[in-house]
Amino acid sequence: MQSEIIEFANSIGASEPDQNDDVYRLYRSLFRERNYFRHASGLLVVKISRSKKPFWGLTEGIIDLLNKHFSYNLILLTSVTQGWVFSKAETMRYIDRREWKLDAEGLEYKIHPPLPNANMFFGPKGCLKKLDVKGAPNNA
């Protein structure tokens, strides 16, 4: 699944910090998984679910860290070409309204469909449009 996330990230022009950069060491100390990418729209958190009944998990501690220090978008994928995009504000609204609840241990927010059609995208161009990146076609 990790290769699918990287393939998706590459398709929308997202990247990890350069491994020779000091920022990379800090980045790796904060984010051990390769789900976090730099992008023209800001930091991207990319998760994928390959289950028949898709679901995603977001660690509470990571969300707290992101909210304190970063502007970000959350991307939930069901394939390399399809998913949903949520801004930081939308993500926090779902958490605050308890639509995305913590698991029994209180460590991870669990996200299950249905998710709003307004946030759904198909293909890299559709994702870029949702991210409101300049140069993305209007009818992707």
Least Cα distance to 102 among 64, 58, 62, 65 occurs for 58
| 133 close to 119: Cβ distance less than 8 angstroms | no
- State the pTM of this model: 0.88
The CATH T-level fold of domain 2-130 is Trna Endonuclease; Chain: A, domain 1 (3.40.1350)
Interval 43-52: pLDDT, tens: 899 999 989 9
CA distance 95 to 73: 14
Interval 73-114: pLDDT, tens: 999 999 999 999 999 999 999 999 999 999 999 999 999 999
Question: Residue 21's pLDDT is what?
Answer: 65
| Secondary structure (DSSP) of 97-114 | TTSSEE-TTSSEEEE-S-
Interval 117-136: pLDDT, tens: 999 999 999 999 999 875 55
**Cα 90 from chain centroid?**
12
Kindly tell me the burial class for residue 114, based on how many C-beta atoms sit within 10 Å of its own C-beta (0-12, 13-18, 19 or more): exposed
Question: Residue 140's pLDDT is what?
Answer: 40
Higher-confidence residue: 113 or 31?
Answer: 113
Residue 1 predicted with pLDDT over 60: no
At residue 139 the predicted structure's pLDDT band, cuts being 50, 70 and 90, is very low
Residue 3 predicted with pLDDT over 80: yes
